[in-house]
Amino acid sequence: MNITKQLVALGALATAPALTGAAQPVAQPQVIAIVGATVLPMEGPDRLADQTVIVRGDRIEQMGPRQRIKIPAGARTIDARGQVLMPGLVDMHVHLAPTPGDPGDPAQRALAVMLAHGVTTARGMAGSPMNLEVRGKIEAGQIAGPRFYAAAPPLHDQNTQSAEDGREAVRKAKAAGFDLIKSHELSNAEVWQAVADEARKAGIPTAGHVNNAVGLDRALAAHQQIEHLDGVLAEIVKMVAPGTPLEWGQVPPPPVIAVASKVTDAQLAQLARKVAAAKSWHGPTLSLFEKLADLTTPVEQRLADPNMRFVPEGALKQWASHYGDLKAAGFTVADGVAFAQLRRRIVSAFAQAGVPLMAGSDTAQNFHVWGPGLYEEVRALAAAGLTPMQALRTATVTPRDYFRSLPNGGSALGWKADFGAIRPGARADLILLAGDPSRSLSALARPNLVVAGGRLFERAALDAMLAKAVADANAPPAAAAAAPVKQVYVMRHLPAGDGPDPDLSPAGAKLAQGLADFFKAGQFKAVFATPYKRTQQTAGAVAKAFGLPVGTYDPRDPDGLLRAIAAVPGNVLVVGHSNTVPDIVARLGGTPPGPIGEKDFGTIYRVDSGSKLTKQFQLGGVAPVALGPCTIKGLHPSVRCGTVTVAENRANPNGRKIAIHFGVQPAAGVAVDDPIVMLPGGPGLGGLQSGPGIDQMFGAMLKDRDLLLIDQRGTGQSNPLQCPQVENDSDPLGQLNESTPSEVTDCRDALAKKADLRFYHTREAVKDMELVRAALGYQKLDLFGMSYGTRPALDYLRLYPDRVSETVIRAAAPVEMKLPLWTARDTQLSFDRMAEACLAQPDCAAKHPDLKGDLKALLAMLDKSPAPITIKDPRNGKTLTGKLSRNGLGTVMFAMLYIPEFYSQLPPLLANAKGGNFSPLVQAASPFLLGVGDEIAWGMRWSVVCDEDVRRIDPKTVAAAARNTFMGTGAVEDEIRACSKWPRAAVPADYLKPVKSDKPVLIISGYHDPVAGKAWGDVIARTLPNSLHIEVPGASHLPPLPGCTQQLLGKFYSGTALRQLDTGCVANAPRPKMAA
């Protein structure tokens, strides 16, 4: 199905587990051959061309010219031609949360982000005892992360008040197995010296801060490794203006900066020579302090940084709250600039004098994040005057040399300091890059693969780590899963006769008999009623069905009723009166209903623990449904699942029935707002299947609202119309195969035994969705339609406008697009915009000035004959070989354009292909070529698109729609052939008309979207007068969206009017860095 398959599989990937990163097994050491790379060894020559590196276990076994190195039998071979191999990066200053490194916890998330950015060694300076547990799990291969050196709990004036306190702290740290002692603002020189002496005696290094009261000279004499250039500024002030008070914290006040800035270059050189002579090692942490001193970048721009997606909202809010601290303390923009320039001058002088400098990010804090924070530090060191190669050495071989200078290699576990360089015998810590960072440090971003201690992590695995880190950062607290939901139903008695204490009327008695059946899913543990016949008789039938007595309560003592309810370990039914029910609901914590009329019977209210939303049901309507455990892997542990049964053909209610499966993820806190219904892409993917990736998309929005996931009929577990005949292309290259007519007919004939394929289109699914809403008692829904999800979202808005609060459409795919008629045009536009983005960035433009011409040349090459390709299956490492045709290249390009992190890598991949080597390009696309495998319900998809789209295409328009595109007409022709074999569905005529509504609708499009871009969002906006359409500059089809766009979503769903949304941050969102 080639391109046709990608249209659905990639659309579904927007929320599929394959993208969002179910926990990845840690790769095990193996024999790896990295062939044909340019190597930056960090020792000896700056670079070696066309090298092969053999890794065996956790060691580099061989390195040499490609022609001379024999690849061992069974080795995992990586074609690295045109790429650059360098040692893995070392971050000498990171902070992990005090968690044990269990999958998904904050420490493990930070480690995964570091590793995915090429950091293979890190020194943790937070000092939590749990860091020792983390260190052990990494070494045992239980979690993925860089080799981790752990500092002891930091010593400061509050916990170390005497020399003996200091000595005892060192002894305890040594016994506990920490790798170093961290000094943090010890201002008593005697205590500081006691710590230094005891550490030297114990053979454990010291590192960290140097208080001005201790002084640089004392630190140099004790050989403490110094962070942040501590003590240096005070020494400068003493040189320039003796007698100036030296009392300040991390950032000196403006008058001190002004004084210190007067230091001459000669004075700095003199100081640098002194430091070098003392053999003192320094971690300047330039980039962090430059961010602290930057008073020009607005906090909104910091929050919009894509790297903030790895940080929980609470931390971002805390950082934002302190963002103006320096300005509040009297700092000006000029003061900040002067401070940053002074620190760069110090670093430049140190480098010239030979002071060993080490890169440390001091992450995570102040919008400075693990992984990217180290890139920023290396760039800052280069901006201070180091060459790119010198800057790279600060994050590779220099930290290695530092550890080698220490007793026991600086390791409590006896590790040899054998990282940081590429040579036989060294630890196999490597990163493979598309460009040469010794010429442009921007090439460090997004390594193609990482080898950490011999464990291989290819790009697909690294992306899965990052996606899961995003999901974990934004996940509601897992504690929400622990508390069982208690449901209290409250209703007025049923119709009664006249008099002071009448019995139920005949009509009321009849309704009471049906009440027991209506509540069969109630799972009641107690039933309460007032001491009146009409309430007792209403409650009696339900109590009898559950084998319970009717408990009597005094309507004048509502507090007594609440105490009785609280004592029940389960669900409760309360029967009251028109004048008591609203008060009971309010006292239970729900939103009270309005006054209940004298003739209003049969309305039932429900209040759930952990929710202020009052659910509502109507006797004789859709009954409440029971929720139970879910069997789908990867869902949030709090999700509870259920089903409603519907007629497949509503015109034949006695015919085949379908169980519609759904799940509810309760709000992480207290639900106070309408639930979000996630309507995923495809078509062909169920809502429950998209659940494992949902936290990545909504994050903090799920703190005060439920999330509803529905497997649309024909998907997931709702009578899935899956086609093994189509899904057997089970590897990435199989997805490039042309379709065959028998695939469609075999699928059709097999599914006809379990389904009438005419009744699985969108309108039927929308009616099912309304039944699910009613069964759950929600009064209104917030809709989120992703790609194909546009259609059920808008049709629900059309049919049930009073049940909708807000609607968000992400990547609009309305019926007007007649999928895939315009896909070739839209994909060509996406490619052209990618090429323009390259030309707008000097590094990319210099190397790839004519990407459009390059693609034309590649297509011409494949027109002559298909190209041989060899890739590794990203799931298991199996070698796959095949041929790439012109149509296959179109499929690969379509896949790569779907997400910014991938389209930004296209320039060097296309350059490789110009030489005939298409394998790296196909390898990069391979995770997306897999799509979501057998999770896609192809039968359901054809039941949707054949009548909603394909049969509405005028064949005469196909050629014109695809003119001057690299994809051509293949996808449309493929679909027309498939749909000629598929049964016709009875799609209602009004469904195919534009949806008109004055309800608020937020439409979000990606500038680079290859299939559902702004033009389609504009189409639906024409008949939605209360809509706002946002185009996100750097975004494509797939989430995640920049942080500020997610914040807009949250404000919109919380009731902010569209015209009051400040969308300025979207235009300023960072664009992806195009690989050169």
Position 23 scores a pLDDT of 35
Which among 872, 971, 1003 is positioned nearest to 926, based on CA atoms?
A: 872
Task: Over range 321-329, report the average pLDDT.
Answer: 76
Please give the pLDDT value at position 417: 94
pLDDT of residue 21: 35
* Whether residue 724 has pLDDT greater than 80: no
Per-residue confidence at 3, pLDDT binned at 50, 70, 90?
low
Helix (H) / strand (E) containing 925? helix 919-929
Considering only CA atoms, give the Rg of the chain.
33
pLDDT of residue 13: 46
Structural element, H or E, at residue 349:
helix 333-353
Confidence of residue 103 (pLDDT cuts 50, 70, 90): confident
pLDDT at site 7: 53
pLDDT tens digits, 266-309: 999 999 999 999 999 999 999 999 999 999 999 888 988 889 99
Give 111's Cβ-side CA count (13 Å radius). 33
What Cα–Cα distance (Å) separates residue 123 from each residue in 370, 475, 511? Answer: 12, 27, 71
Rounded to 5°, the CA angle 39-41-43 comes to 155
Give the class (CATH, top level) of 487-618.
alpha beta
CATH superfamily ID and name for 640-719+759-818+992-1068: Alpha/Beta hydrolase fold, catalytic domain (3.40.50.1820)
What does the mean pLDDT of the chain come to? Answer: 90
Residue 98 binned pLDDT confidence (cut-offs 50, 70, 90): confident
Inform me whether the pLDDT recorded for 320 exceeds 90: no
- Of 156-165, 336-345, 640-649, 688-697, where does mean pLDDT reach its minimum? 688-697
Pairing of strands 614-618, 524-529: unpaired
Q: Are strands 867-872 and 879-884 parallel, antiparallel or unpaired?
A: antiparallel
Whether residue 654 contacts residue 724, with contact meaning beta carbons closer than 8 Å, is answered with no
> Which part of the chain has CATH 3.40.50.1820?
640-719+759-818+992-1068
Q: Confidence class of residue 4 from pLDDT cuts 50, 70 and 90? A: low
Neighbours of 203 (CB within 10 A): 11
Higher-scoring residue by pLDDT: 630, 48: 48
Residue closest to 239 by CA, chosen among 217, 259, 257: 259
Is residue 932 very low, low, confident or very high in pLDDT (cuts 50, 70, 90)?
very low
| Reported confidence tier of residue 1044, pLDDT bands at 50, 70, 90 | confident
**Which pLDDT tens digit goes with each residue over 991-1009?**
999 999 999 999 999 999 9
Among 149-163, 336-350, 676-690, the range with the most confident prediction by mean pLDDT is: 336-350
CB atoms within 10 A of CB 321: 10
The type of residue at 1073 is K
Output phi, psi for 529, to 5 deg: -150, 160
Bridge partners, residue 608, by sequence: 487
- Give the H/E segment covering residue 527: strand 524-529
Per residue in 17-33, pLDDT tens? 333 333 334 555 579 99
CB atoms within 10 A of CB 1027: 20
Tell me the pairing of strands 707-710 and 48-56.
unpaired
Cβ atoms of 859 and 852 closer than 8 Å:
no
**Helix pair 886-896, 2-12: axis angle to 10 deg:** 10
What integer is the mean pLDDT of 823-848?
A: 95
Cβ atoms of 680 and 15 within 8 Å: the answer is yes
CA distance linking residue 820 with residue 914, whole number of Å = 29
Q: Where in the chain is the domain with CATH 3.40.50.1240?
A: 487-618
Is the model more confident about 859 or about 732? 859
> CB 963: neighbour CB atoms within 10 A?
12
User: What are the residue ranges of helices labelled H in 800-850?
Assistant: 823-839, 842-847
Per-residue exposure over 870-902, b if at least 16 CB sit within 10 Å of its own CB, e if not: bbbbbbeeeebebebbbbbbbbbbbbbbbbbbb
What does the block give as tokens for 716?
């997931």
Task: Give the pLDDT score at 691.
Answer: 74
SS3 861: helix
Q: Give the fold, CATH level 3, of 31-83.
A: Urease, subunit C; domain 1 (2.30.40)
Give the separation between CA 130 and CA 124, rounded to whole angstroms. 11
Q: What is the DSSP letter of 1008?
A: T
Using a CB cutoff of 8 Å and minimum separation of 24, what contacts does 874-878 make? Answer: 874/458, 874/460, 874/461, 874/732, 874/926, 874/927, 874/930, 875/930, 877/76, 877/456, 878/731
- Which residues are within 8 A (CB) of 1075 and not within 5 positions of it... i.e. 6 or more apart? 434, 435, 443, 445, 446, 844, 904, 905, 906, 907, 908
Q: What is the pLDDT of residues 187-235, one digit of tens each?
A: 899 999 999 999 999 999 999 999 998 999 999 999 999 999 999 999 9
pTM of the full structure: 0.66
C-alpha to C-alpha distance for 927 and 906, rounded to whole angstroms: 15
Least confident of 14-28, 707-721, 769-783, 1027-1041: 14-28
Report pLDDT for 637.
Answer: 80
Q: How many helices (H) and strands (E) does the chain have?
A: 42, 31
Write the DSSP string, 38-104.
Answer: EE--SSSSS-EEEEEEEEETTEEEEEEETTTPPPPTT-EEEE-TT-EEEEPEEEEEE---SS---TT
High-pLDDT (> 70) share of the chain, %: 93
pLDDT given for residue 18 in this prediction: 37
Whole-angstrom Cα distance, residue 899 to residue 531? 64
Whether the pLDDT of residue 789 is over 90: the answer is yes
Categorize the per-residue pLDDT at 902 as very low, low, confident or very high, splitting at 50, 70 and 90.
Answer: confident
Domain with CATH 2.30.40.10 in the chain: 31-83
pLDDT digits (tens, 9 = 90+) for 385-420: 999 999 999 999 999 999 999 999 999 999 999 999
* Number of neighbours of residue 802 by Cβ within 10 angstroms: 7
pLDDT tens readout for residues 1053-1063 = 999 999 999 99
Which amino acid type is present at position 98?
A: P
The average pLDDT across 108-119 equals 95
Q: What are phi and psi of 33, to 5 degrees?
A: -120, 115
What residue has token string 């942040």? 228
Coil vs helix vs strand at 829: helix
The set of residues, in sequence order, having a beta carbon less than 8 Å from that of 115 and lying 6+ positions away, is 144, 145, 146, 450, 452, 457, 462, 465
Beta-carbon contacts of residue 586 (< 8 Å; ≥ 6 apart): 592
Interatomic CA distance for residues 440 and 463, integer angstroms:
23
Q: Are 980 and 741 in contact (CB under 8 A)?
A: no
Phi, psi of 524 (to 5 degrees): -70, 145
Contact indicator for 219, 210 with CB cutoff of 8 Å: yes
